[in-house]
Each structure stands twice: as structure tokens, then as C-alpha cells.
Amino acid sequence: MSENQLPPNEDEEEEYYEHHRIVADKGQTLMRIDHYLKHHLSGVTRTKLQNAIETESVKVNDKPVKSSYKVKPFDIITVAMPHPPRITEILAENIPLSITYEDPEVLVLNKPAGMVVHPAYGNWNGTVVNALLYHFENLPTGRNGEARPGLIHRIDKDTSGLLVIAKTEYAMAHVARQFFEHTTERTYYAIIWGIPKEDKGTIVGHIGRSARDRKVMAVYTDGSQGKHAVTHYEVLATYKYVSLIKCKLETGRTHQIRAHFQFLGHPLFGDPVYGGDKILRGTTSGSYRAFVDNCLQILPRQALHAKSLGFVHPRTKQWLQFESELPEDFRTVLEKWDKYANQ
């Protein structure tokens, strides 16, 4: 700071968009970059600016700098964020939230599949952030002062499960730091096509945007592109043509689990982006096809659930650990596969 810095989705490295570009005057005296930006960007605290600098969201002459950097005449300073700029404000909406835990500092939500976490192009309404703005006042604005009230990390729209929300600036800074340093604990349950050769394993491979389709993430094992990504997994059960796995994220890149398992030849069941929404194991006709089609109708999304979340409480310094039940669509499809495999 990525899952921060606000981590990207699950998932979380994204394409960044320039939000601010400032050219220092020719008469500019030497001044620390954080002090300089505090004077030039309204409504942004020095702490947020320092966090932005630490996460390399702030660059001077196209190079990241430290907070101690002294701005000089004609320096070109840019501030980039992982979402396009938006002129209109985010509206508060009375949307029910499933709250797993809440205290004065943090809030843990159980997000349903189909709900976008943060407003973006095509999804300005009905998001977790819209709901947070309605239910809670004075939430911290998130990394770099952008409009992400309370949001520390995200998961994909069609991924269900746990999210932690900061209710104070203090909590935002301390919990976000844990995400950045990968000291949180996050596990996901997924249904994948096929049965991995090993019951336990680790997938290592840089993840970056695909050259063919910018909406899809690709794995670059030679490290030539993308960001370092590590996923640990364990097979919990097998059902002839699919498997239930548990994944533990060591890093947090966009679509990390989805891209890593597609790369292994085991796309997530139901995942339309990575080819899991069609029959990849077994026959493609007859009663089996009807069975799979029925499962895909019940679970018309990637079979991925953020099952557990652990982090150190920002005030008490105690470890907090949360678990969430698999959603109904996920459970139903698992039960159907279990019956099919044991008939």
C-alpha cells in the first residue's frame, strides 16, 4: 500500500489513473513533498499524503519519492489512483448490510455476491460504499483522500464474503498497513474444475493485465510483466469432476485466485471471465450436461467466497478472527456435486 494503499480486488493490482498533476512554480523554494501537496490539495490530511507517497501513488518527474523529498522549481508532481476520476459525488443509499462484527473502530461485513464494493463506471449505485455512507457518518475517506468511505480492501462483485471497514482515521491507517504488509489472514473457498495433482500446493506467478483483453488478468511466470503473486491452496474435497479448495492469499492482486487457477488448468466453476462457465471435465452431452447446466443456473458466477478474515485490532492490539458461512447458492451446488459423485 492491495487485497490495501487500498488493496485491489481479492484480489487486489489495478490500472492507475492520474487524478492530479501539479507543476511547481519557477520560484518554488525547497519544501517537503507532503507539505507541498497539503497546501495544493484541499481536504487531504498529511497522514493520507504520506501513505500515498509510501505506496508510490505520488510521483515526481515520473519517479516515486519519499516523504522527505524536497520539491524544486518546475518539478512535475502526479497523484494516481486505481479508478478513473469522477465529478459527481457518491450518494448515500439505504441498503441493508450484513454485519458480522462492529465496534467503535472497525466493522466487518459479509458481502453478498452481486454487490459491487465501490462505485465505478457502470456501477455508481447499489454498492457497499453507497450503503456505508447512509448507515455511518464521518467515515474516513480512504487512501489518498479519495471517496472510498471506510474502505480498506475489496472483493469482486460476484465474490461473496468478508470485508473489514474502518470507522476512524486511526483504524484506517493501522488496518490498511496490515494489508500492505501482508500480515492479515484471508482464506477463500472455491470450487474449481478438475482435481489438482497435489492435495496442497503453492502457485507463484506474476499477475498482470492480459495483452489481448484488459479486463482479464494473465499469469507471467517469467516475471516479465505484472506483479508478484502467491496463492497457497489445499484441496478439501473432490467430486469426480470438480474440487472444493481453500486458498490463502500471500499477496492480493486483481483476480488472483481466478487467474492462478485458470493458469493451472482448473478455472473456477461458473467463472464467465476465465472460462469456467462451461463444461471443462466429463462429457458434454446427456444427463451430465443437464446436471452441469442446472448447477450453473443455481450459481451463475465464479464459485468463490471470502471465508475467513483475521487482523490485529487497531486499538486493543488483539488478534480478531472471523468466519462466514458459505452462501446458499454455493452450498446448494456443492451438495448437488456431492450427490452426483456418490450416486
Active-site positions?
Answer: 156
Exposure string (b/e) for 198-227, b if CB count within 10 Å is 16 or more? eeeeebbbbbbbeeeeeebbbbbeeeeebb
Cα gap 232→255, rounded to integer Å: 15
Who contacts 279 (Cβ-Cβ below 8 Å, separation ≥6)?
A: 288, 289, 292
What are residue 11's phi and psi, to 5 degrees? -90, -50
Q: Say how far residue 260 (Cα) sits from the centre of its chain.
A: 15
Cα gap 128→108, rounded to integer Å: 12
Q: DSSP string spanning 263-319?
A: HTT-PBTT-TTTTTTS--SS-SSHHHHHHHHHHHHHS-S--EEEEEEEEE-TTT--E
Structural contact between residues 311 and 320, judged by C-beta atoms closer than 8 angstroms:
yes
Question: Which run of H or of E encompasses 51?
Answer: helix 46-54
Cα gap 100→111, rounded to integer Å: 10
CB-neighbour burial class of residue 266 (10 A; exposed 0-12, middle 13-18, buried 19+): buried
Cα gap 130→203, rounded to integer Å: 35
Cα gap 109→311, rounded to integer Å: 14
Task: Identify residue 191 by its one-letter amino acid code.
Answer: I
Q: What is the SS3 string spanning 90-108?
A: CCCCCCCCCEEEECCCEEE
